[in-house]
Chain A
Amino acid sequence: EAQVTQNPRYLITVTGKKLTVTCSQNMNHEYMSWYRQDPGLGLRQIYYSMNVEVTDKGDVPEGYKVSRKEKRNFPLILESPSPNQTSLYFCASSLTGVPNEKLFFGSGTQLSVL
């Protein structure tokens, strides 16, 4: 089944403890992206990647890192999480990138930073 898989689904951590949220897609998509969703603000793009070893900042990249060493994987790294990074995170992918192709979304990761 074609899908975008994020793990974990829920994560509670403490300020400053490094964490990684994984994202994997099985559709051979070129484009992958991370969003955070906050009430009233919709989804805001954190980072995106057009291909292996190619990443670009979105609207809210501060405090986040990404890497794209393999086509299928696009992990989101929070090296020193802070409470303002408590949010619902979504990974998405598409064949060639926005706007030409629709995005496929993962089920989300609810992160709480205490």
Chain B
Amino acid sequence: AQSVTQPDIHITVSEGASLELRCNYSYGATPYLFWYVQSPGQGLQLLLKYFSGDTLVQGIKGFEAEFKRSQSSFNLRKPSVHWSDAAEYFCAVSGAGNMLTFGGGTRLMVKP
């Protein structure tokens, strides 16, 4: 079975500061990994995905994520956070079949 853990339920950062959101996954083989963002009252939007190849993947809105097999992690990063980045972020993993398993989410708040 596949699973995802996002250890931080809430994170607050100052505008302009760097950001790292943690994601740990469990899956026996090489997984497909995703980060989605959910703005208030909206559905989810894909930020980036990892399938294979380069372990550092670039996404939209200036986000990037790094796949580390040895740590079973896929952390999301952004060098400088903007107030509009305040949202809830979900890491997800897909392994077998067409199941997509999400983590519990991390709510990001941005201080002016």
Contact = CB atoms under 8 A, between A and B. Distances in A.
A48 B98 contact: yes
Nearest to B50: A99
Contacts of B94: 98-99
Interface residues of B, number: 25
Contacts, number: 64
Interface in B36-50: 36, 41-46, 49
A90 to B, nearest CB: 6
Given A40-B104, A42-B103, A105-B45, A31 B98 contact: yes
B3 to A, nearest CB: 10
A99 B51 CA distance: 8
Interface residues of A, number: 26
A1 interface: no
Given A98-B94, A102-B49, A44 B102 contact: yes
Interface in B1-49: 4, 6, 9, 32, 34, 36, 41-46, 49
A43 B45 contact: no
B90 A43 contact: yes
Interface of A: 4, 31, 33, 35, 40-45, 48, 50, 56, 58-59, 90, 92, 97-99, 102-103, 105-108
Interface of B: 4, 6, 9, 32, 34, 36, 41-46, 49, 51, 90, 94, 97-105
